[in-house]
Amino acid sequence: MHFHIAYHAYLERYPTKLLALYHALHDGVTGGVLAYGLRLPSTRELAGLYGLSRGTVNQVYEMLASEGYLQCRTGSGTYVAFRKEEQGGAGAARPEASYRLSAWGERLESASPRGRMVPRLAVDFDCFAPDLDAFPREAWNRCLYAAVRELTVSGAGRGECPPQGYGPLREGIARYLRRARGIAVEAEHIAVTGGSMQALALLAQLLVEPGEPAVAETPGYA
């Protein structure tokens, strides 16, 4: 079969075969090496070519198809659906974000990094309190104080922890998403919140002006 991508080179840069194959195909498509309309090998053929499982190849094809780089035609095959020339070439400027910030979000963005403040949410969870008599207080306190001492030594306890969340925690989340979900993500793409309600509130404040209509799930947070 006359088909080649730099899979083995990417295998040295990424921790899993899935990510290596994803980035090798992605860069081949966006770089113009795999031209628009090219029919890619079947999952069985590509798996045999690089010593992969068909499940891995299927997952990568599905990921790239969901992002618009490939088109899977039932009974016909998988084709490159990305036109490099439509993107203005490799040196084209990165497109502007397709969303706009609310006035509150713009004020937040224009503020100095040290002046950025996120409103605190006060939520009463008393009606859902756990059985505190069964809680291992002594073991919890030992772990808590050990963690606080470690943060203080590392500097995170002196106000150096970024507002997006504790750095090592975001690194761990990014590693998990890359390994378990096959998502190409880095720690700087992660923001840790106090829960889904806070995350939704921050997104609403960043993207929606007061009084603007918005679509929400039912049931969901009021």
Give pLDDT, residue 85: 67
Each as own residue / partner, the long-range contacts of residues 7-12 (CB below 8 Å, 24 or more positions apart, any chain) are 7/50, 8/50
Taking the C-alpha atoms of residue 83 and residue 89, their distance in angstroms, rounded to an integer, is: 10
* φ, ψ for residue 139, nearest 5 deg: -65, -40
pLDDT at 91: 44
Residues of CATH 1.10.10.10 domain(s) within the chain?
7-85
Instruction: Report residues of the chain scoring pLDDT below 50.
Output: 89-95, 97, 112, 114-121, 157
Q: Quick one: pLDDT at residue 44?
A: 92
Chain mean position to CA 217 = 22
CA neighbours within 13 Å on the CB side: how many for 14?
22
Residue 86, strand partner residues: none
Q: How far apart are the first and last CA of the chain?
A: 57
Q: To 10 degrees, what angle do helices 103-110 and 196-207 make?
A: 90
Looking at residue 92, its pLDDT comes to 45
Report the DSSP pairing between strands 77-80 and 39-40.
antiparallel
- pTM of the full structure: 0.41
Residue with tokens 């008393």: 126
Instruction: Give me the phi and psi of 79, to 5 degrees please.
Output: -125, 150
d(C-alpha 25, C-alpha 43), whole Å: 13
Per-residue model confidence (pLDDT) at position 123: 56
pLDDT of residue 89: 46
Label residue 211 left, alpha or beta by phi (over 0 means left) and psi (-120 to 50 means alpha). left
Give residues with Cβ within 8 angstroms of 191, minimum separation 6.
164, 165, 170, 199
pLDDT value at position 51? Answer: 92
pLDDT of 53: 92
Alpha carbon separation from 193 to 101, 105, 168, 196 (Å, rounded): 19, 17, 15, 7
Domain boundaries 7-85, corresponding CATH code = 1.10.10.10
